[in-house]
Amino acid sequence: MSAQLLDGKAASAAIRREVLSRAQCLSPAPSLCAVLVGDDPASALYVRNKERACAESGIRSVFRRLPSSTTQAELLELVRELNADPDVDGILVQSPLPRGLNETELVNAISPWKDVDCFHPENVGLLVAGTPRFLPCTPAGVQRLLVLNSIETAGKHVVVVGRSNIVGKPMANIMLQKASGANATVTVCHTGTRDMGYYTRQADILIVAAGRPNVITGDMVKAGAVVVDVGMNEVEDASAPRGKRFVGDVDFGAASEVASWITPVPGGVGPMTVAILMENTLRAAELRDMRR
């Protein structure tokens, strides 16, 4: 068996076109403010990609770059200013933050109405209750990728590898909801799971967000399973142009010989994450107009 690719680039482009169509009906246009603290090159690249996606989606982007010496108090003050700014619909503080800054406190300080990452406890609670204001970008991107490729989830066994607040936990919550594109039986594996392969081999849909390269090998995948690889890891490769290349958390070559569908890395989940961020920003702008 040779797996079909779950193309995140094509699916995300369709979402951005829909966002653009709806955004053009709003005045003022939806706006997203990205805050970058420090000079981490990967974070700077992520912010540039989001700025480009904003331009393609009819969303105004605002970029606030702060030095790595920024204090917690200064960053909190900026967040308060953005919360009060009627011209800002969504606020994104790019992770990781420099050492010494408390990310949890910053997340909690962002207005839940502008929390387009869906990290604020209020929005997490709404998600768990099944009445989300926003959807967490990466998990929602995974779900949408499945739906757009007509992959049935209802009654399926979904195994999530990873329990982070960004991917693993919200992914499990999304997939167990009694709703279209969900209604699955969900198992969550993590670093404390014994014999992880026992569980992953039972998965009809295997979603991996472990944060370690190639942690899921081909013999850990059930024949015909759908494999969604959320991981993005840079590894040494002398044959690559920069001497490094990106790989996922799944051994793509081995798993693709067993699975029915699989996401490429890059080009799978990553573009979907950005597309859902655009959708959430649009949603924030629509809610802004409804609340006036």
Integer Cα distance of 257 and 251 in angstroms: 10
**Residue 36 CB neighbour total at 10 angstroms:** 19
CA atoms within 13 A on the CB side of 177: 20
Closest CA to 255 of 282, 292, 228, 283: 228
Residue 46: both structure tokens together = 């992520």
Vertex 8, ends 158 and 244: CA angle to 5°? Answer: 100
DSSP3 helix / strand / coil % (the chain, rounded to 5): 40, 15, 40
Amino acid symbol at 243: G
Region of residue 210 (left: phi > 0; alpha: psi -120 to 50; beta: else): alpha
Amino acid symbol at 205: I
Q: Which active-site residues does the annotation give?
A: 50, 94, 117
Integer Cα distance of 83 and 203 in angstroms: 42
Integer Cα distance of 172 and 38 in angstroms: 33
